Structure 1
């Protein structure tokens, strides 16, 4: 197996490190080792190809990064992904079971050429060992540096090793091609900004999702007329915990895709490994690359989803967060109405009424699937019936992992605020609890 190590390389100005991009990979790969190779790591490490790195850096920093990625994989193994990419689908064991894998660059415009933006390999792979061997014939370091990607492609083509997997170019999909609607019919692991080519390296660190543009991070996003903005970060991150409820999960994901506002992003976490869950969510991810993300925990927590919720809170970036379950449903204008309440009142919490599936919910005498007006108090609110300011939700966390953990979460949010909590109430039924 290729080891579960994710490597990223960012040499140059550390203040420009695209942390939101890297966080998308971390969120999608719980349990993996994550390594960031920066200027300090470059200086502290002993490199077989040090002369090539130094010479390449004087020509094009991307060529220096190529030499680093080849040596890192040769020594440690794992997966190297360009740092200016957003992960939308976790790397599965079907890829890690190979000796190595890479993506085609562009089957139409650059047929037969492999991209170096996403590479996976076991340690000491023969192609990488040969690549790092000093070029014969007295080639200068500068000449060797300039030909790193070319040497990689020649060796890959020439070596008939078993276990070398080539993936379609849309697996690591460029922002340009995603905008043109490509990648809808296959697995997309990440969306690639191509920041150096597009001249947006200095803007990457301000981006929070793969739909932002150079204009939007400078405050020039265009309104979509429904509580969202094209090209801007999401207003609401949805954290959803799932466990083997496949039909209801499809309903939840479809109701999110049906929203009239494009101001959300969903992170779906399954409690333990589950291949059926993986397939369902991947199908939805293809419909909205970068808007729906998913991962499995390596083992089941079986604690009402609270551990996964807490994990999710550490990996969201939007100003507000909605925590929900895989069997719930939201009306098509839910995100629109929530956005209007946030814009009007700048609240800490936005609550809305619901239909509750339980008999006598919250100690009330009522049949199942009856109207349930919410209040900010124990027994009178469900976790899926409120959007919370992310900073407060993180501070509250889920210290109570029991049945009443939802109620404790809301009480801890009020404590975390200290001063009076600003609660906005939408007098509409936006949510069906199942």
Structure 2
């Protein structure tokens, strides 16, 4: 089973770390271990792909976080969630019975692309280990945008290449009910989190100051930046 651990990565300006979002994961999972990975861990952890992280850092910190994500999952297991997300519903236990799970980014806007922001595995997952090795063997990972070289596209292509059938790909609305393009889920299925697209929408300068308020109508969170 996937261990009851939630990992959140924030590297860069720690004064802008979105504690308001992070706290929602703590509040709704009081009996889980919630670990924050930041600049100290980036410097001291001993990452297998440290060379690529160093090269990526001046360009896209989200790409550094993606590479950290894979090694955290392989070494510790659990669920890694994006820092710019707010939890609106505790994760159901049945999700942990999967060997591994992720979710689609959006079935309509980007069909076939697996999101990298919500991936869960047990420690030592061979599939995640293969992603780490594939990145390691690259001459450089800054030849294109990070979402392609180390993020969602890397995950999606590895899933196809290695035919990792134990990976359960959940509907996008579980964690990303609203895509940055504006497409919004309006069904009655479970929503566990909301993604605010901090990098894409360039709102990280204000996200940590935003008021996040729970709506009583159903499991939703609204945010005012």
> Given the two structures, how large is their TM-score scaled by the length of structure 2?
0.87
Assess, with a 3 A threshold, how the Cα gap between structure 1 residues 155 and 134 changes in structure 2: closer, same or farther. closer
| Gap regions ≥5 residues in structure 2 | none
Assess, with a 3 A threshold, how the Cα gap between structure 1 residues 148 and 178 changes in structure 2: closer, same or farther. closer
CA distance in 1, matches of 2:22, 2:137: 40
Three-state SS of the structure 1 residue aligned to 2:199 is helix
Superposition map of 1:221-370 within 5 A: 234=213, 265=215, 285=218, 288-290=219-221
CA contact (8 A) 1:64 1:145 kept: no
Could you tell me which residue of structure 1 aligns to residue 173 of structure 2? 170
**In the TM superposition, what is the alpha-carbon distance from 1:290 to its structure 2 partner?**
2.4
Which string of whole-angstrom CA distances, capped at 9 and with x for unpartnered residues, describes residues 210-263 of structure 1? xxxxxxxxxxxxxxxxxxxxxxxx5xxxxxxxxxxxxxxxxxxxxxxxxxxxxx
Could you tell me which residue of structure 2 aligns to residue 5 of structure 1? 5
Three-state SS of the structure 1 residue aligned to 2:124 is coil
**In the TM superposition, what is the alpha-carbon distance from 1:265 to its structure 2 partner?**
4.7
Could you tell me which residue of structure 1 aligns to residue 122 of structure 2? 122
CA contact (8 A) 1:53 1:145 kept: no
CA contact (8 A) 2:88 2:191 kept: yes
Deviates more, 1:162-171 or 1:62-71: 162-171
CA distance in 2, matches of 1:289, 1:137: 42
Could you tell me which residue of structure 2 aligns to residue 148 of structure 1? 150
Could you tell me which residue of structure 2 aligns to residue 25 of structure 1? 25
Three-state SS of the structure 1 residue aligned to 2:55 is helix
Assess, with a 3 A threshold, how the Cα gap between structure 1 residues 159 and 176 changes in structure 2: closer, same or farther. closer
Three-state SS of the structure 2 residue aligned to 1:7 is strand
Could you tell me which residue of structure 2 aligns to residue 76 of structure 1? 76
**In the TM superposition, what is the alpha-carbon distance from 1:77 to its structure 2 partner?**
0.4
Could you tell me which residue of structure 2 aligns to residue 409 of structure 1? none
**In the TM superposition, what is the alpha-carbon distance from 1:158 to its structure 2 partner?**
2.6
Assess, with a 3 A threshold, how the Cα gap between structure 1 residues 178 and 140 changes in structure 2: closer, same or farther. closer
CA contact (8 A) 1:51 1:141 kept: no
Three-state SS of the structure 2 residue aligned to 1:74 is helix
| Greater C-alpha radius of gyration | 1
CA distance in 1, matches of 2:96, 2:113: 22
| Match for residue 188 of structure 1 among 186, 191, 201 | 191
Instruction: Tell me the C-alpha RMSD between the 2 structures.
Output: 2.5
**In the TM superposition, what is the alpha-carbon distance from 1:205 to its structure 2 partner?**
1.1
Assess, with a 3 A threshold, how the Cα gap between structure 1 residues 185 and 40 changes in structure 2: closer, same or farther. same
Superposition map of 1:45-84 within 5 A: 45-84=45-84
CA contact (8 A) 1:52 1:145 kept: no
**In the TM superposition, what is the alpha-carbon distance from 1:151 to its structure 2 partner?**
2.5
Pair 1:14 & 2:14 matched: yes
Three-state SS of the structure 1 residue aligned to 2:57 is helix
Assess, with a 3 A threshold, how the Cα gap between structure 1 residues 136 and 53 changes in structure 2: closer, same or farther. closer
Assess, with a 3 A threshold, how the Cα gap between structure 1 residues 124 and 145 changes in structure 2: closer, same or farther. farther
Three-state SS of the structure 1 residue aligned to 2:168 is strand
Assess, with a 3 A threshold, how the Cα gap between structure 1 residues 177 and 132 changes in structure 2: closer, same or farther. closer
Three-state SS of the structure 1 residue aligned to 2:35 is strand
Assess, with a 3 A threshold, how the Cα gap between structure 1 residues 178 and 87 changes in structure 2: closer, same or farther. farther
Pair 1:201 & 2:132 matched: no
Could you tell me which residue of structure 1 aligns to residue 36 of structure 2? 36
Pair 1:102 & 2:102 matched: yes
**In the TM superposition, what is the alpha-carbon distance from 1:161 to its structure 2 partner?**
3.6
The number of residues matched between the two structures is 219
CA distance in 2, matches of 1:141, 1:177: 25
